[in-house]
Amino acid sequence: MSRVAVVITCYNYGAYLPRAIESALGQTHEDLEIVVVNDGSTDDTGMAASRYLVDPRVSVVALANGGQARAKNAGLRATKAEYVAFLDADDAWEPSKLEKQLPLFEDPAVGVVYSRMRFVDPDGRPCAHPPRELPPFRGDALRPLLRDNFVPFSSAVARRECFQESGLFDESLPMAIDWDLWLRFSLRYRFDYVDEPLVAYRLGHSGQMSKDLLRRQACCDRIFARFVAAHAERINRADLRRARAHTYNSRGYFFRRRDPAASLRYYGLSLRENPFQWKAIKGATLTARGLVRWGKRTND
């Protein structure tokens, strides 16, 4: 049986942490080493984690607050197992998650295995209006990863050798550290997935980093530009233009009601990269019509 290291990092999510730890301890695949990294929390995270030290598979690493990348790297360094699974403190696993994922590593070319997820509210109930889940992809993941990070972080299991070959999390990045990691891994390894929702992903609670979308966009731009510059020989120019067009189109949609001028600017950038995009043309048209209607109301 292959041992799996489970890295759970936590910053002020003490209220959710027990559910995460229990979902790891409740795995049907029992050969685990679970490290909980307390990233300088000011709530009851330390107390919540310490209750599980009675299980020899659980250990706790306490740090001064230094950010998610540093915390995850500390968790990686504190474990030795052949496979590493990540679980955010506010998420939870289905009991058979690891058991269903590990057989996919029988292909030596596969470096990362993930799964689908289901969305829950702060109380753990199914979301009434869940967001759209990105379609999963298996195989050579470089091209689709340039467009989107389709790997739910709390669903991912990776070979330890991936980190040895491609490096750990980039501690200079405040956000999107997983996308940066998967891009680097995709240069050497294939990706695979279990087509089942094996992770409960919690939405809507205070402090969730994914809410800060403008900072995330800026961070993603930095990651993308740096990766393309470092690996230009691996990236087809047409794929690069399609990826940029997709990103700009998504931002055009995001800003449509928040900032119509920014929305039109992004739709224009998208069409410059790929002029034959029906979604971008339609989005720009709807945004422009909205501005015209707003202008008429203002002048009346």
Q: How is domain 4-211 classified at the architecture level of CATH?
A: Alpha-Beta Complex (3.90)
- Looking at residue 296, what is its pLDDT? 47
Q: What is the CA radius of gyration of the chain?
A: 21
Mean pLDDT per block of 10 residues along the chain (300 residues) reads 94 97 98 98 97 98 97 98 98 98 98 97 89 94 96 98 98 96 98 98 67 85 97 95 95 90 94 91 87 52
Burial class (CB within 10 angstroms; exposed 0-12, middle 13-18, buried 19+) of 260: middle
4-10, strands of its sheet edge to edge:
58-63, 32-39, 4-10, 83-86, 157-159, 110-120, 190-202, 92-93
pLDDT of residue 298: 47
Closest CA to 267 of 47, 278, 197: 278
Give the angle subtended at the CA of 290 by the CAs of 285 and 256, to the nearest 5°. 75
pLDDT of residue 102: 98
E-only strand ranges, 49-120: 58-63, 83-86, 92-93, 110-120
Write out the two tokens for 125: 């109930």
- Please state whether the predicted TM-score (pTM) of the whole model is above 0.95: no
Strand partners, 36: 8, 60
pLDDT at 214: 85
Burial status of residue 227 (CB atoms within 10 A of its CB: 0-12, 13-18, 19 or more): buried
What residues are paired with 82 via a beta bridge? none
